[in-house]
Amino acid sequence: MSITPETREEIFSKLKNTLKKYSPPMVASRGSEQGFQLIGNKPVPYGSANKIIPGMFFAAATHAKNSVTLHFFPCYMNRSMLEVAPNLMKKLKGKTCFHFRKAEDVDEKELNALLKKGVSAWTKMGYMK
């Protein structure tokens, strides 16, 4: 079942506008019609080679084939942070990816609480200044 272009845009706008509230302190590393991404605001070593990257990936809203997705990386490292978002949990597929097909499924209050916890986690882990 596919979603209409209007519904897709409404969901994406909700996600993108909520993510934008966290920049700063996060850095918007990509903004386009296809996606919007936030990273930490501090260069950090990454991978087995410890290559310095501009910031640790935090979250992104993107268009998928039959949904709009929110990838939220902090919950991969700390599953307990999802406790603040019981309604959003219903949309979680896998470890970090939420799939939305209806605009009303995006609970902005829970999303804000989740992002706030994520920013706190990123700061504690040294990914933020």
Domain ranges for the chain, please list them.
Answer: 5-124
| DSSP 8-state symbol, 65 | S
Distances (CA, A) of 12 to 38, 56, 87: 15, 22, 18
Helix (H), strand (E) at residue 100: strand 97-100
pTM above the 0.95 mark?
Answer: no
- Count helices and strands in the chain by DSSP H and E runs: 4, 8
Summarised one tens digit per residue, pLDDT across range 14-70 is: 999 999 999 998 999 775 567 899 999 999 998 899 899 898 999 999 998 899 999
CATH class of 5-124: alpha beta
**Closest to 71 measured CA to CA, from 110, 32, 16, 23:** 16
